[in-house]
Amino acid sequence: MMNNSIAAILLAAGQGTRMKSAKPKVMHALAGRPMILHLLDMVRSLDVGQSVVVTGPGMDEITAAVAPVPTVLQQERLGTAHAVAQAKPLLKDFQGTVLVLYGDTPLITPATIQAMLERRSQAPHPAVVVLGFRPKNGGEYGRLVFGANGLQAIVEYKDATPEQRAIPLCNSGVMAIDGKHLFSLIDRIGNDNAKGEFYLTDIVKLAVAQGLTCSYVEAEEEELLGVNSRAELAEAEALVQRRLRAKAMAGGVTLTDPNSVTLNWDTELGQDVTIGPNVVFADGVKVASDVEIRAFCHLEGVTIASGAQIGPFARLRPGAEIGENAHIGNFVEIKKASVEAGAKVNHLTYIGDARIGAGANIGAGTITCNYDGFGKYHTDIGAGAFVGSNSALVAPVTIGDGAIVGAGSVITKDVAPEALAVARNHQMELPGWAETFRDKMKHLKKR
């Protein structure tokens, strides 16, 4: 149920010039998903009643990604207070707590926001709760300035005195603000500062001057990592991966070399799954319990049933469905194909647009020839069938239940159940030919 006492404004209009990209900064992915959607997921976990995303010109990609969450346009980038002001048409009558969050700060946790909301609810019910942190290097962060009555102001680094710059408690930019006062305070913020911008941080001193109380909550530095460059994106990715791995292991997954496994935001793993080193999960992977995924596998858009063994060096592409106790071995690629219970595809094989029946065995080097340059065609291999090594199955084609295909065959017609199909030239032997050939070549070489 939505909590109509909480709203959220997500600022996402930053150009991200240091990213050196045509893509909006907040659309760069972490664990396979745009940063802004990670933040929206966090907001949804709090049952926020209404969210608004502030975008900039030419950022239709963000509007499409966050839909149905409404967006408002910050036509000119005149500072954080100016950005928040763009949400006024949607939230001007809102009386609850308004969260101000940043699309390029996607690692903040629900627990931290919940702590801010709890502080807002405690007497004397501060009008503004600021999220602070103590970075190892304060750099150019704004500083939280305190007086006898608590938090008195946030001073931007460029406007701070040497004494204020020495304050260890820094401003993250994240705030929880009383909606009754938000826009009246925003309207009074000026731009008389070193950058000539309308700073949201000025809301604290204006609230204090009006006789309102301001407070703060502290968070860990890693939660508040802002992503403004490719290097910071990589740092954020490492943090997200660490969280995903920890969650997987807490849920009963064994990672034999956790730091080498790459998970996706939507990866689903059952209990007693074992994952070897250097395994990559892309979008849409669902793995049941008691599955082993060996080293150097790449999985995307695949479902794997219980008891299956995958890899090493297997590539499972979108549409792959691996049945119970099936085996997919080294250097095997599966695309848009079902491999049913107990089937084995163990070596150097491509299976695309196909069904491999229960208990079937596919020999090394087998290829389903599914594409003729114009269309994709289906190969159906029945239960218990055996396909010999180095066979080419030219689709569309059906191999019946229990049928055997001889090694090295090129199968272009359907094979009946329980039949043997061999499609290759008869072996020819010329006695003594090899010796004659070698002698000839040696003679030519001497000339």
The residue among 342, 341, 321, 339 whose CA lies nearest residue 366 is: 339
Pairing relation of β-strands 361-362 and 344-347?
parallel
How far apart (Å, rounded) are the C-alpha atoms in residues 318 and 338? 11
Of the listed 347, 378, 426, 443, which one is catalytic? 347
Place of tokens 């954020």: 236
- Sorted by sequence, the CB contacts under 8 Å of residue 437 that are 6+ apart come out as none
How far apart (Å, rounded) are the C-alpha atoms in residues 284 and 267? 6
Please measure the distance between the N-terminal and C-terminal CA atoms of the chain and give it in whole angstroms: 91
The residue among 138, 139, 119 whose CA lies nearest residue 129 is: 119
Strand partners, 30: 33
How far apart (Å, rounded) are the C-alpha atoms in residues 378 and 396? 5
Strand partners, 399: 381, 415
How far apart (Å, rounded) are the C-alpha atoms in residues 334 and 314? 8
How far apart (Å, rounded) are the C-alpha atoms in residues 46 and 416? 59
Q: Is residue 181 annotated as a catalytic residue, yes or no?
A: no
* DSSP result, 13-74: ----GGG--SS-GGGSEETTEEHHHHHHHHHHHTTEEEEEEEE-TT-HHHHHHHTTS-EEE-
| E strand or H helix at 244 | helix 230-250
User: In 3-state terms, what secondary structure has residue 330?
Assistant: strand
User: In 3-state terms, what secondary structure has residue 255?
Assistant: strand
Which two three-digit tokens encode residue 166?
């020495």
Which two three-digit tokens encode residue 226?
């802002």
How far apart (Å, rounded) are the C-alpha atoms in residues 113 and 436? 85
CA dihedral 76, 78, 84, 89 (to 10 degrees): -40
- Sorted by sequence, the CB contacts under 8 Å of residue 93 that are 6+ apart come out as none
Do the Cβ atoms of 12 and 34 come closer than 8 Å? no
- Sorted by sequence, the CB contacts under 8 Å of residue 343 that are 6+ apart come out as 323, 326, 327, 356, 357, 358, 359, 360, 361, 362
Report, as residue numbers or ranges, the catalytic residues: 347
